[in-house]
Amino acid sequence: MPSVWSIVVAGGAGTRFGAAKQFARVAGRPMLEWAVDACRGRSEGVVLVVPADAGHRSGEGTDLRHGADAVVPGGSTRADSVRCGLAAVPAAAEVVVVHDAARPLASPALLAAVVAAVGRDGVDGAVPGLPVSDTIKVVDGTGRVTRTLDRATLVAVQTPQAFRAPLLRRAHAAAGPAGDATDDAMLVEALGGTVQVVAGEPENLKVTAPDDLATAERLLAARER
Protein backbone atom coordinates (compact mmCIF):
# COMPACT_ATOMS: atom_id res chain seq x y z
CA MET A 1 0.00 0.00 0.00
CA PRO A 2 1.33 3.48 -0.82
CA SER A 3 2.15 6.02 1.85
CA VAL A 4 -0.82 8.42 1.91
CA TRP A 5 -1.06 11.83 3.54
CA SER A 6 -4.06 14.16 3.38
CA ILE A 7 -4.38 17.94 3.35
CA VAL A 8 -7.65 19.46 4.57
CA VAL A 9 -7.97 22.97 3.18
CA ALA A 10 -9.72 25.23 5.70
CA GLY A 11 -7.92 28.51 5.13
CA GLY A 12 -10.70 30.54 3.54
CA ALA A 13 -12.22 33.73 4.94
CA GLY A 14 -15.79 32.66 4.13
CA THR A 15 -16.62 35.85 2.24
CA ARG A 16 -19.70 34.42 0.48
CA PHE A 17 -20.82 32.61 3.63
CA GLY A 18 -20.48 35.73 5.78
CA ALA A 19 -18.06 34.12 8.28
CA ALA A 20 -15.31 31.52 8.47
CA LYS A 21 -17.69 28.65 7.68
CA GLN A 22 -15.12 25.94 8.35
CA PHE A 23 -15.55 26.62 12.09
CA ALA A 24 -19.36 26.63 11.97
CA ARG A 25 -20.78 23.78 14.02
CA VAL A 26 -22.43 20.93 12.18
CA ALA A 27 -24.04 18.15 14.23
CA GLY A 28 -22.25 19.43 17.31
CA ARG A 29 -18.74 19.74 15.85
CA PRO A 30 -16.80 22.32 13.82
CA MET A 31 -17.39 21.51 10.16
CA LEU A 32 -13.69 21.05 9.41
CA GLU A 33 -13.47 18.15 11.91
CA TRP A 34 -15.81 16.06 9.77
CA ALA A 35 -13.45 16.54 6.82
CA VAL A 36 -10.43 15.58 8.94
CA ASP A 37 -12.24 12.45 10.12
CA ALA A 38 -13.04 11.39 6.55
CA CYS A 39 -9.33 11.52 5.72
CA ARG A 40 -8.09 9.91 8.90
CA GLY A 41 -8.92 6.27 8.17
CA ARG A 42 -6.94 6.05 4.92
CA SER A 43 -4.06 8.41 5.75
CA GLU A 44 -0.84 8.07 7.68
CA GLY A 45 -1.24 11.71 8.63
CA VAL A 46 -3.51 14.71 8.07
CA VAL A 47 -2.35 18.31 7.64
CA LEU A 48 -4.98 20.94 8.40
CA VAL A 49 -4.56 24.34 6.73
CA VAL A 50 -6.29 27.16 8.62
CA PRO A 51 -6.41 30.98 8.56
CA ALA A 52 -3.67 32.82 10.42
CA ASP A 53 -6.18 33.87 13.11
CA ALA A 54 -7.58 30.35 13.53
CA GLY A 55 -7.17 30.40 17.31
CA HIS A 56 -9.45 33.40 17.59
CA ARG A 57 -11.99 32.02 15.13
CA SER A 58 -12.10 28.56 16.71
CA GLY A 59 -13.00 29.93 20.10
CA GLU A 60 -11.28 29.82 23.46
CA GLY A 61 -10.70 26.33 24.81
CA THR A 62 -11.00 24.65 21.41
CA ASP A 63 -8.47 22.00 20.38
CA LEU A 64 -6.70 23.86 17.59
CA ARG A 65 -5.59 20.62 15.92
CA HIS A 66 -9.17 19.45 15.36
CA GLY A 67 -7.90 15.89 15.13
CA ALA A 68 -5.16 16.60 12.56
CA ASP A 69 -1.49 15.67 12.94
CA ALA A 70 -0.25 19.10 11.93
CA VAL A 71 -1.85 22.52 11.60
CA VAL A 72 -0.36 25.23 9.36
CA PRO A 73 -1.50 28.72 8.38
CA GLY A 74 -2.75 29.08 4.81
CA GLY A 75 -2.20 31.65 2.11
CA SER A 76 -4.28 34.25 0.32
CA THR A 77 -5.71 31.82 -2.24
CA ARG A 78 -6.78 28.19 -2.20
CA ALA A 79 -3.72 27.14 -4.22
CA ASP A 80 -1.46 29.03 -1.80
CA SER A 81 -3.07 27.18 1.10
CA VAL A 82 -2.54 23.81 -0.57
CA ARG A 83 1.13 24.70 -1.11
CA CYS A 84 1.41 25.53 2.60
CA GLY A 85 -0.07 22.13 3.38
CA LEU A 86 2.25 20.35 0.97
CA ALA A 87 5.26 21.85 2.73
CA ALA A 88 4.18 20.01 5.90
CA VAL A 89 3.68 16.64 4.17
CA PRO A 90 6.68 14.31 4.60
CA ALA A 91 8.84 13.88 1.51
CA ALA A 92 8.32 10.10 1.73
CA ALA A 93 4.57 10.39 1.04
CA GLU A 94 3.67 8.71 -2.25
CA VAL A 95 0.06 9.87 -2.56
CA VAL A 96 -1.41 13.16 -1.35
CA VAL A 97 -5.14 13.67 -0.89
CA VAL A 98 -6.54 17.21 -0.95
CA HIS A 99 -9.96 17.72 0.64
CA ASP A 100 -12.01 20.86 1.24
CA ALA A 101 -13.24 21.48 4.79
CA ALA A 102 -16.45 22.82 3.21
CA ARG A 103 -17.41 19.23 2.28
CA PRO A 104 -18.16 17.66 5.67
CA LEU A 105 -20.15 14.75 4.23
CA ALA A 106 -17.50 12.99 2.15
CA SER A 107 -17.32 9.37 3.26
CA PRO A 108 -14.13 7.44 4.09
CA ALA A 109 -15.12 5.10 1.24
CA LEU A 110 -14.89 7.99 -1.24
CA LEU A 111 -11.40 8.83 -0.05
CA ALA A 112 -10.41 5.17 -0.37
CA ALA A 113 -11.77 5.13 -3.94
CA VAL A 114 -9.69 8.07 -5.17
CA VAL A 115 -6.56 6.72 -3.47
CA ALA A 116 -7.08 3.30 -5.04
CA ALA A 117 -7.39 4.83 -8.51
CA VAL A 118 -4.03 6.65 -8.36
CA GLY A 119 -1.25 4.70 -10.01
CA ARG A 120 -3.66 2.29 -11.70
CA ASP A 121 -3.09 2.11 -15.49
CA GLY A 122 -0.92 5.22 -15.48
CA VAL A 123 -3.37 7.40 -13.53
CA ASP A 124 -1.67 10.39 -11.89
CA GLY A 125 -4.70 11.73 -10.06
CA ALA A 126 -8.28 10.82 -9.26
CA VAL A 127 -11.27 13.05 -8.56
CA PRO A 128 -14.88 12.26 -7.65
CA GLY A 129 -17.46 13.45 -10.17
CA LEU A 130 -21.21 13.43 -10.67
CA PRO A 131 -23.10 13.60 -13.99
CA VAL A 132 -24.42 17.05 -14.88
CA SER A 133 -28.21 17.12 -15.19
CA ASP A 134 -28.66 20.77 -16.21
CA THR A 135 -27.97 22.16 -19.67
CA ILE A 136 -24.73 24.18 -19.54
CA LYS A 137 -24.25 27.22 -21.79
CA VAL A 138 -21.14 29.34 -22.36
CA VAL A 139 -21.80 33.09 -22.35
CA ASP A 140 -19.72 36.14 -23.25
CA GLY A 141 -19.16 39.28 -21.18
CA THR A 142 -22.59 40.63 -22.11
CA GLY A 143 -24.42 37.48 -21.06
CA ARG A 144 -25.07 36.29 -24.61
CA VAL A 145 -24.82 32.57 -25.28
CA THR A 146 -21.86 31.60 -27.44
CA ARG A 147 -22.36 27.83 -27.35
CA THR A 148 -24.07 25.00 -25.52
CA LEU A 149 -21.96 22.19 -24.08
CA ASP A 150 -22.75 18.51 -24.44
CA ARG A 151 -23.69 17.54 -20.90
CA ALA A 152 -22.98 13.87 -21.65
CA THR A 153 -19.27 14.77 -21.55
CA LEU A 154 -19.46 16.86 -18.36
CA VAL A 155 -19.09 16.01 -14.68
CA ALA A 156 -19.36 18.15 -11.55
CA VAL A 157 -16.17 17.53 -9.60
CA GLN A 158 -15.87 17.18 -5.82
CA THR A 159 -13.16 16.60 -3.25
CA PRO A 160 -11.37 14.60 -1.85
CA GLN A 161 -8.92 14.40 -4.76
CA ALA A 162 -5.84 12.17 -4.74
CA PHE A 163 -2.56 12.58 -6.66
CA ARG A 164 0.88 11.08 -6.98
CA ALA A 165 2.76 13.24 -4.54
CA PRO A 166 5.80 14.13 -6.69
CA LEU A 167 3.60 15.27 -9.57
CA LEU A 168 1.35 17.34 -7.32
CA ARG A 169 4.40 19.07 -5.88
CA ARG A 170 5.73 19.78 -9.38
CA ALA A 171 2.34 21.08 -10.50
CA HIS A 172 2.19 23.59 -7.66
CA ALA A 173 5.80 24.61 -8.17
CA ALA A 174 5.16 25.18 -11.88
CA ALA A 175 2.11 27.33 -11.15
CA GLY A 176 4.17 29.53 -8.84
CA PRO A 177 2.87 32.03 -6.27
CA ALA A 178 0.71 33.78 -8.87
CA GLY A 179 -0.92 30.57 -10.02
CA ASP A 180 -4.38 29.75 -8.71
CA ALA A 181 -6.92 27.09 -9.52
CA THR A 182 -10.34 26.04 -8.30
CA ASP A 183 -9.02 22.52 -7.78
CA ASP A 184 -5.67 20.77 -7.80
CA ALA A 185 -6.55 18.58 -10.77
CA MET A 186 -6.34 21.69 -12.99
CA LEU A 187 -2.68 22.14 -12.10
CA VAL A 188 -1.85 18.46 -12.63
CA GLU A 189 -3.68 18.51 -15.98
CA ALA A 190 -1.61 21.55 -17.01
CA LEU A 191 1.53 19.41 -16.67
CA GLY A 192 0.01 16.70 -18.84
CA GLY A 193 -0.94 14.41 -15.96
CA THR A 194 -3.69 11.84 -16.39
CA VAL A 195 -6.66 12.45 -14.09
CA GLN A 196 -9.33 9.78 -13.64
CA VAL A 197 -12.91 10.49 -12.55
CA VAL A 198 -14.44 8.07 -10.04
CA ALA A 199 -18.07 8.02 -8.95
CA GLY A 200 -18.81 10.92 -6.61
CA GLU A 201 -21.38 10.98 -3.83
CA PRO A 202 -24.62 12.98 -4.25
CA GLU A 203 -24.64 13.74 -0.51
CA ASN A 204 -21.11 15.18 -0.63
CA LEU A 205 -22.40 18.73 -0.81
CA LYS A 206 -20.24 21.81 -0.58
CA VAL A 207 -21.38 24.22 2.11
CA THR A 208 -21.43 27.65 0.50
CA ALA A 209 -24.38 29.40 2.20
CA PRO A 210 -25.80 29.32 5.75
CA ASP A 211 -28.84 27.36 4.55
CA ASP A 212 -26.49 24.54 3.51
CA LEU A 213 -25.62 23.96 7.17
CA ALA A 214 -29.16 22.77 7.89
CA THR A 215 -28.96 20.34 4.97
CA ALA A 216 -25.62 19.03 6.21
CA GLU A 217 -27.01 18.65 9.74
CA ARG A 218 -29.94 16.62 8.43
CA LEU A 219 -27.78 14.34 6.30
CA LEU A 220 -25.27 13.73 9.08
CA ALA A 221 -28.05 12.99 11.55
CA ALA A 222 -29.50 10.43 9.13
CA ARG A 223 -26.06 8.85 8.68
CA GLU A 224 -25.53 8.52 12.45
CA ARG A 225 -28.85 6.74 12.98
Task: Over range 102-106, report the average pLDDT.
Answer: 95
Q: Is pLDDT larger for residue 153 or for residue 59?
A: 153
Given pLDDT bands bounded at 50, 70 and 90, which one contains residue 60? very low
Q: What is the CATH number of the domain that holds 173?
A: 3.90.550.10
Tally the domains of the chain. 1
What pLDDT, on the 0 to 100 scale, is given for residue 97?
A: 98
Q: What CA–CA distance (Å, rounded) separates 11 from 195?
A: 25
Of 33, 15, 168, give the one whose Cα is nearest residue 77: 15
Centroid of chain to Cα 179: 17
Residue-level pLDDT at 112? 96
Query: Is pLDDT above 60 for 57?
Result: no
Question: Average model confidence (pLDDT) for the chain?
Answer: 90
- Residue-level pLDDT at 62: 54
Give 201-214 pLDDT, tens digit per residue: 999 999 988 889 99
pLDDT over 80 at 56, yes or no? no
Boundaries of domain holding 154 = 4-224
User: Which residues neighbour 30 within 8 Å (Cβ) at sequence distance 6 or greater?
Assistant: 22, 23, 24, 58, 62, 66
Name residue 25's beta-bridge partners: 30
Residues 71-100: what's their mean pLDDT?
A: 95
**Where does 142-198 have alpha helices with state H?**
165-175, 184-190
Q: Tell me: pLDDT of 20 over 70.
A: yes
